[in-house]
């Protein structure tokens, strides 16, 4: 990264030369022996599926008989005729746009709170992290019960504070928000990573800023945020990738409803490919949708990387 | 690079005036903690209620009478013992595989100098970006063709081929260990295998225990893969059993949510216990993530 003075050709020539001199046959053997499982994993779980699904997307395939090549008909149907494709894109994008910033903000807030040298911090850290340890199926079914309009806890709490009750998962306007709230309950994972980042910020940096007269707010925006921006960036990317693939919520709580409000793309793919009872599996069409999801993920990741220079602080560029 | 894992040892606060901003923060923290713990409290309350009390509007905050037999009835209603055993076998084998393979791969990438290691590192890390869904349908076909469908193998074998995130975690941690250690061991005639198992394994304990916690959760909590690959009910995992239980058994009118929550509590326990046993290593193991900006 910092070799700006030398051209890349020279660099590679140099490193090649160095390697030629220093290649140690035993290191070469052990190195590749040790990473061999990873190489196999990469080939079988990334490269092969990638290549094969490119073909499957152009076929009609029920999973039993052989795939039948049909060109771009899957995509044609998807963009022009499928009544649930666009609603499911809308639900997925809305979910990402609403849940990721909320999770990052709450996670960072909690991490900053836990980093304040308050009493009982270990207990709080454990309590806040607890929900993320629990199985998704356990927490989702728990929330399904909490959200029951008649005898659930959620409406009981609302009426306790004299607030209007809600239809939660069964309301077209409220289902998505209800799912986002469940996601926020699991903010502990984000929090713990931010906390690790905050604790790695050298104390001297804060001291220096304080001596220069920075107050708490400025410390946060001008020291904390830049110092943890690499972690923030990584969290942003992984959470967007994760949110784009939301699945269990729809499968367990809403079956994509009401009126496609929570018909996340990933759930739609599952329903098309592996079929809920009664429907006919079409793995070819499902794979075509997988590619749309894949391109969405790549686009979001690439855009985030593209704009990261503006706000991600890079230690190596400083010197 | 050494990071201090100072988790809020009380500063010398005596004789200082009360800091009201800290009191405010503390109050906010308490409120948030209560909100977070409330749903868990609800599991326990519901699990102990009688059949009639679960339908009260508004619901009782505490059970009127304690029905501990709900645990046994819930246990039987979903064939918990069998599903528990299935899930445990799959999980333990996946955890061992994920930790061992990733620690070995991470070692090679961080501490063995061989041509291509940077490229492989970036390939492994890059593969984290590929959503698992892209692989799901082709892998489904692959497993179908080698007769792994409706077996546990698709849930266990992939773990043994390294987990990209764990590889990353391991490599970052290995990079923080002084290289003099390997050098002196090499002078004593130790090979990479000896260095890895005798010297590195004890030092890297925080990171592999962190991995074990994460792998345990990942496998125990996995829902999509068992859903796709397991057909016969006697091979199901708890996640499938609980999800089915909630939609069929608990979906109809006269839902026995009390039995369900009792079983749900039992389902939550193993990851909780495992987490609390290994917790003290967790923050330390993730500490190497704080060095993310280092190469």
What confidence score (pLDDT) does residue A178 get? Answer: 92
What confidence score (pLDDT) does residue B293 get? Answer: 40
Residue A183: CB atoms within 10 A of its CB come to 19
A59 beta partners: A69
Confidence of residue B254 (pLDDT cuts 50, 70, 90): low
**Three-state secondary structure call for residue A59:** strand
What confidence score (pLDDT) does residue B289 get? Answer: 57
What confidence score (pLDDT) does residue B4 get? Answer: 42
What confidence score (pLDDT) does residue A283 get? Answer: 87
Contacts of A40 in chain B (CB under 8 A): 161
Contacts of B28 in chain A (CB under 8 A): 113
Tell me if chain A has a CB within 8 Å of the CB of B189: no
A68 beta partners: A60
CATH number among 3.20.20.140, 1.10.3720.10, 1.10.3470.10, 3.40.50.460, domain B79-243+267-291: 1.10.3720.10
Give the count of Cβ contacts less than 8 A between chain A and B: 291
What confidence score (pLDDT) does residue A133 get? Answer: 86
Q: What is the pTM of this model?
A: 0.81
Tell me if chain A has a CB within 8 Å of the CB of B295: yes
What are the residue boundaries of the structural domains of chain B, listed by start? 20-67, 79-243+267-291
Contacts of residue B53, Cβ cutoff 8 Å, sequence gap at least 6:
B59, B60, B63, B64, B258
Work out the minimum CA distance from A306 to partner chain B, whole angstroms: 16
Is the pLDDT at B253 greater than 70? The verdict is no
Tell me if chain A has a CB within 8 Å of the CB of B114: yes
Task: Flag residues of chain A having pLDDT under 50.
Answer: 1-13, 17-19, 317-319
What's the CATH fold of domain A78-318? MetI-like fold (1.10.3720)
Mean pLDDT over the full length of chain B? 82
> Cβ A196–B289 below 8 Å, yes or no?
yes
Work out the minimum CA distance from A200 to partner chain B, whole angstroms: 6
Work out the minimum CA distance from B70 to partner chain A, whole angstroms: 16
Phi, psi of B130 (to 5 degrees): -75, 120
What confidence score (pLDDT) does residue A217 get? Answer: 83
Tell me if chain B has a CB within 8 Å of the CB of A234: yes
pLDDT in tens, B66-124: 888 888 888 888 888 999 999 999 999 999 999 999 999 999 999 888 898 899 999 99
What are the residue boundaries of the structural domains of chain A, listed by start? 8-56, 78-318
The Cα-based distances of B83 to A319, B70, B157, B219, B256 in angstroms read 57, 18, 20, 14, 20
What confidence score (pLDDT) does residue B215 get? Answer: 92
Confidence of residue B238 (pLDDT cuts 50, 70, 90): very high
Q: Which residue of A has its CA nearest to B163?
A: A38
Contacts of A17 in chain B (CB under 8 A): none
d(C-alpha B212, C-alpha B285), whole Å: 11
What confidence score (pLDDT) does residue B61 get? Answer: 77
* Residues of chain A numbered 250-309 and touching chain B (CB < 8 Å): 251-252, 266, 269-270, 273-274, 283, 286-287, 290-291, 293-294, 297-298, 301
Contacts of A200 in chain B (CB under 8 A): 3, 287, 290-291
Q: Which residue of A has its CA nearest to B108?
A: A31
> Cβ B58–A196 below 8 Å, yes or no?
no
């Amino acid at each position: 990264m910092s070799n700006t003075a030398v051209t890349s050709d020279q660099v590679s020539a140099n490193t090649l030369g160095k390697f030629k001199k220093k290649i140690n046959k035993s290191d070469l053997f052990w190195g590749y022996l040790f990473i061999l499982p990873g190489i196999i994993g990469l080939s079988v779980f990334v490269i092969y599926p990638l290549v094969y699904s490119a073909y499957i997307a152009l076929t009609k395939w029920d999973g039993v008989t052989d795939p039948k090549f049909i060109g771009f008909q899957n995509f044609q149907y998807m963009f022009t005729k499928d009544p649930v494709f666009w609603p499911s894109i809308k639900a997925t994008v809305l979910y990402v746009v609403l849940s990721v910033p909320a999770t990052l903000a709450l996670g960072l807030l909690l991490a900053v709170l836990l980093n304040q040298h308050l009493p009982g911090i270990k207990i709080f850290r454990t309590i806040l992290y607890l929900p993320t340890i629990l199985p998704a199926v356990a927490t989702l079914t728990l929330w399904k019960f909490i959200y029951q309009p008649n005898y659930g806890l959620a409406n009981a709490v609302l009426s306790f504070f004299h607030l209007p009750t809600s239809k939660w998962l069964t309301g077209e306007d409220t289902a998505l928000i209800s799912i986002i709230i469940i996601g926020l309950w699991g903010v502990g994972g984000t929090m713990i990573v931010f906390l690790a980042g905050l604790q790695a910020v050298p104390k001297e940096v804060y001291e220096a800023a304080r001596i220069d007269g920075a107050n708490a707010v400025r410390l946060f925006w001008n020291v904390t945020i830049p110092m943890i921006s690499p972690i923030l960036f990584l969290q942003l990317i992984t959470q967007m990738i994760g949110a784009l693939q939301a699945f269990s919520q729809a499968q367990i709580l809403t079956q994509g409803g009401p009126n496609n409000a929570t018909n996340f793309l990933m759930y739609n793919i599952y329903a098309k490919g592996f079929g809920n009872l009664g429907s006919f599996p079409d793995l070819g069409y499902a794979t075509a949708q997988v590619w749309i999801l894949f391109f969405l993920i790549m686009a979001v990741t690439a855009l985030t990387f593209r704009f990261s220079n503006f706000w991600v602080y890079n230690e190596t560029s400083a010197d | 690079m050494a990071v201090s894992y100072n988790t809020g040892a009380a500063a010398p606060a005596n004789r200082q005036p009360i800091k009201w901003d800290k009191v405010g923060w503390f109050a906010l923290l308490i409120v948030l903690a209560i909100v977070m713990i409330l749903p868990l409290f609800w599991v326990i309350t519901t699990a102990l209620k009688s059949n009639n009390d679960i339908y009260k509007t508004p619901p009782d905050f505490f059970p009127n009478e304690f029905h501990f037999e709900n645990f046994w009835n819930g246990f039987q209603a979903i064939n918990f013992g069998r599903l528990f055993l299935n899930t445990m076998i799959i999980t333990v084998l996946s955890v061992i595989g994920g930790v061992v393979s990733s620690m070995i791969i991470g070692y090679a990438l961080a501490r063995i100098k061989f041509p291509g290691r940077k490229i492989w590192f970036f390939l492994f890390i890059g593969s984290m970006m590929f959503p698992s869904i892209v692989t799901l349908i082709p892998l489904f076909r692959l497993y179908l063709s080698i007769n792994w469908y409706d077996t546990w193998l698709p849930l266990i074998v992939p773990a043994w081929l390294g987990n990209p995130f764990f590889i990353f975690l391991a490599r970052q941690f290995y990079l923080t260990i002084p290289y003099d250690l390997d050098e002196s061991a090499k002078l004593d005639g130790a090979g990479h295998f000896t260095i890895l198992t005798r010297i590195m394994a004890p030092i890297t304990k925080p990171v592999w225990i962190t991995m074990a916690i994460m792998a345990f959760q990942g496998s125990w909590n996995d829902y999509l893969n068992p859903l796709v690959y397991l057909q016969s009910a006697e091979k199901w995992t708890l996640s499938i059993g609980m999800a089915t239980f909630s939609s069929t058994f608990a979906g109809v009118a006269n839902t026995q949510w009390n039995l369900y929550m009792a079983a749900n509590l039992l389902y939550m326990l193993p990851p909780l216990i495992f987490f609390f046993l290994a917790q003290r290593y967790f923050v330390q193991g993730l500490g190497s993530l704080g060095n993310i900006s280092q190469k």
